[in-house]
A and B are shown apart, each in its own frame.
Chain A
Amino acid sequence: MNKKTKRILLPVYAALLLAFLYLPMAVMFLFSFNSGRSTLSLEGFGFHWYAELMNNARARDALWNTVILAVSAAAASVILGVLAAVGMDRLRRKWLRSAAQSITNLPMMNPEIVTGISMMLLFVSISQLLQIKQALGFHTMLLAHTTFCLPYVVLSVSPKLRQMDSHLSEAAQDLGCSPAQAFFRVIVPNIATGIAAAFLLAFTISLDDFVVSNFVGQGFETLPRFIYDQTKKRVTPDMYALSTITFAVIFILLILSNLLQASSEKKRLRGTARNN
């Protein structure tokens, strides 16, 4: 590739692809300010649908449910996942380790719809056995979300464990720590960044999940389930308002993290030559 194509053609191409990715967002942004009910033709400008959304009790409940679920599922999957990562790291038998890994990774490989259906069948059968009337709800959502977040937690914690000097926790124990103390005082601080990243990742995955929730979440409405229900009929622009707000929040968060990253990089690069 010569310099010219590199300088002109590729940026243009990138811009076109990004335009494709952002087209729906632009449409939603535009129509969220529509004063009419339509999502096809603009009738006027107004904040009517934002006000509508703020007054929508069902949407508020759904948001609250989503956040509670995401926080609990992230916490549960981080606890389980950190234990799993540390445990698998110590398994010396290769086949045992790879077997444990493949089982934990299954929800990541399997089509989501299969994961959702399989869990629903389990929950329904168990509650039939125990003669529980309300088979599905918050508890089944929590169990399911924790399960499919687990592999992502392991994936973000394991590399940190591998980077860590494995003799450190042994040294701590030689110096009189109990295994539990060694875990909390030596291992956890060493992999703290991995744990934080895992929590955030699990939180966002849970927040965004629709397919599994669709099957195991009857009676517990999260935002994705609420949106699904809304899109069964003709959507009103308040859903677009919701989407626009989400977009703004995500964008601001990402820009903040980007700036943080940039400033830490600058610090690292200060004094050395820039290599572009």
Chain B
Amino acid sequence: MKNLQAKHRRSLLLNAPHLLWSIIFIVAPLLMVAIYAFRDRSGSWTLDTFRSLFTDKESALNLLFIFRSSLWYALLATAICLLLAYPLAYFMAHAGKRVQRNLMMLITVPMWMNFLICTYSWIAILSERGGLLNLLLARLHLPEQTILYTPKAVVLGMVYNYLPFMILPIYTVLSKLQPSLVEAAQDLGATRWQVLRKITLPLSVPGVISGVTMVFVPSVSTFYISKKLGGNKNQLIGDLIEAKFTTFSDRNGGAALSLILMVMVLLSMVFMRRLSKDDDGAYVAG
């Protein structure tokens, strides 16, 4: 008995350093955000920061617009990533070992590149005058496109930067999927389409979920991509937060916005989890 107690105490002791660390450097900072959000410059408690964000005529309209476009662009980028990534992940999972390894490598390399400079170099591609895309289109006698400094460029930047984060988790799940399940379904008379719909897709939901969160969260909170590719007209929530801290030095307002962003992201993750659970239930029942 004594031995067990000592063991228990020791395991708590082992956990002490990182728990302490996490409380100081993870929990306390988040509390600081809340404190700043609910206080004014002089340090007294107030709801005014939130109130002025949503009632000041100019900023309120602007803010709603910014929130809506952040959500909308991030959702769009996530959907496009999913549509682009799934077939590739599927192909990879069914390819030979060597092809799998090489593709895996080719997809990881861009993830390790500095995303700032990669995003910046899209300007040279999309630029209206002298951009590579329009040079190519002109060669092909196709109409020129205005993409840079429009929402299209922002979504493109998001898709470009986060596509590998969608491919890899889906690939991981698909490559671990037991071939015997597919064979069993085929033996029982399922067509290829039925196998895909009833076996492969439902079983890959966990990979899709983690891919979706890994694309959605950085997209909805980005500030560099929108600033560089979207110009001044396509500000997102991240830009606004960054500006509050750097150029306006309005820490309280910035903290309030960060708090809203955090709640938004957490809620959407809870929603995703709920969704995946419902899915499982449906497939078990059906």
Interface residues of A (CB under 8 A from B): 1, 6, 10-11, 13-14, 17-18, 20-25, 27-28, 31, 39-41, 80-81, 83-84, 86-88, 90-92, 100, 103-104, 106-107, 109-115, 117-122, 125, 143-144, 146-147, 150, 179, 204, 208, 210, 214-215, 223-224, 227-228, 231, 235, 239-240, 242-243, 246-247, 250-251, 254-255, 258, 261-262, 265, 276
Contact = CB atoms under 8 A, between A and B. Distances in A.
B125 A21 contact: no
A13 B28 contact: no
A104 B255 contact: no
B117 A210 contact: no
Interface of B: 8, 10-11, 14-19, 21-23, 25-30, 32-33, 36, 84, 87-88, 91-92, 94, 96-98, 101-103, 105-110, 112-125, 127, 130-132, 160, 163-164, 192, 213, 217-218, 220-221, 223-224, 228, 238, 241-242, 245, 251, 254-255, 258, 261-262, 265-266, 269
Contacts of A118: 29-30, 32-33, 258
Given A80-B17, A90-B14, A208 B112 contact: yes
Contact of B258 (A24, A31, A114, A254): A114
Contacts of A114: 30, 33, 221, 258, 261-262
A194 to B, nearest CB: 16
A239 B124 CA distance: 14
Nearest to A106: B26
B228 to A, nearest CB: 7
B17 A83 contact: yes
> Closest 9 interchain pairs by CB?
A111-B221, A118-B29, A87-B14, A84-B18, A87-B15, A90-B11, A121-B32, A10-B91, A122-B29
Given A21-B160, A121-B32, A276 B25 contact: no
A255 B105 CA distance: 8
A158 to B, nearest CB: 13
A86 B16 CA distance: 12
B21 A80 contact: yes
Contacts of B192: 1
Contacts of B102: 258
B36 A13 contact: no
Task: Please classify the interface of chain B as helix (H, G, I), strand (E, B), loop, or mixed, using the class held by over half of its residues.
Answer: helix
A100 B238 contact: no
B241 A113 contact: yes
Contact of B87 (A13, A121, A122, A144): A13
Contacts of A17: 84, 88, 163
A187 B249 CA distance: 49
A28 B241 CA distance: 30
Contact of B101 (A112, A117, A223, A261): A261
B112 to A, nearest CB: 5
Contacts of B115: 208, 210
Contact of B88 (A14, A103, A110, A208): A14
Contacts of A92: 8, 11
A268 B170 CA distance: 27
Contacts of B18: 80-81, 83-84, 87, 100, 104, 150
Contacts of B163: 17, 20-21
Contact of B109 (A1, A150, A254): A254
Nearest to A115: B29
A228 B117 CA distance: 8
Given A27-B132, A87-B14, A118-B29, 7 more contacts: A21-B106, A27-B125, A103-B27, A115-B29, A227-B116, A231-B117, A239-B117
B254 A13 contact: no
Contacts of B97: 265, 276
A161 to B, nearest CB: 12
Contacts of A14: 88, 91-92, 103
A204 B114 CA distance: 11
Nearest to A265: B97
A116 B63 CA distance: 22
Contact of A10 (B87, B118, B241): B87
A227 B85 CA distance: 29
B113 A250 contact: yes
Contacts of A265: 97
B114 A208 contact: yes
B120 to A, nearest CB: 5
Contacts of A31: 124
A23 B29 CA distance: 39
Contact of B118 (A24, A41, A261): A24
A11 B96 CA distance: 12
A120 B29 CA distance: 8
Given A231-B116, A239-B117, A25 B110 contact: yes
A14 B92 CA distance: 9
A13 B167 CA distance: 14
